[in-house]
Structure 1
Amino acid sequence: MEKKSLINWPDFEKIDLRVGTILEAYDFPEARNPAYQLHIDFGSEIGVLKTSAQITKRYSKDDLMNRQIVAIVNFPKKQIGKFMSECLVLGAVGEEGDVVLLNPDFKVENGISIA
């Protein structure tokens, strides 16, 4: 995998990384690639945001329920078919496109910032 170009500290500070808990996971048959629609609780300040995630190779919907994840919450909303994605869930992407979700080692408060 090719190394990406350097960014400066102010670029990094623009990214709002937060921990959230997956409340609901649905099949997303309209997606081009196999995906789920997720509803994620980011606490009282941000609320519940929706996203689409191509994580079906490693996770069932039941695996995702009440799982804490890390996501970027300050991207512009993105229309995916009839679905509006409001955040970007982060994961490590394997060579075959399988994604392993990033999550805290211990349960933390929803909405807590990642530094």
Structure 2
Amino acid sequence: MLTDPKAEGFTKEEGKYAIDHLDVDWNQVAKKSAESYLKHQAFSQKGIYNQLISQYGENFTTSQAKYAIDHLKTNWNKMALKDAKRFKGNTRTEDIKRILKNSHYTDSEIDYAMKNLNQ
């Protein structure tokens, strides 16, 4: 926004200077952003990481996203189960597994989700 000519119109250098001199803990901001996403939608660790670093998402640095992931108190097995339950009833079991794999859940998270899907 700072460098958008239709908004603030600062140069890239001025915008970078402003961001670099804010008294903000960007690691904590990334963590709070990840927590907010996880309240509304299930993500795998890699999925939330990708969302945090995406230029179309939050555009955090890789180290800020890694910090966020490392400091989340999230049960990734339960995230996989939550995601799997979205498809229960209208999707075959093998397709649910494939969807979870494509969403970057680990094999153990997928196993947990599939074992607990009907509970």
Task: State the structure with more CA Rg.
Answer: 2
Indicate whether the TM-score tops 0.5: no
* Structure with the higher fraction of residues in strand conformation: 1
Higher relative contact order (Cα pairs below 8 Å, separated by 6+ residues): 1
TM-score normalised by length of structure 1: 0.23
* Structure with the higher fraction of residues in helix conformation: 2
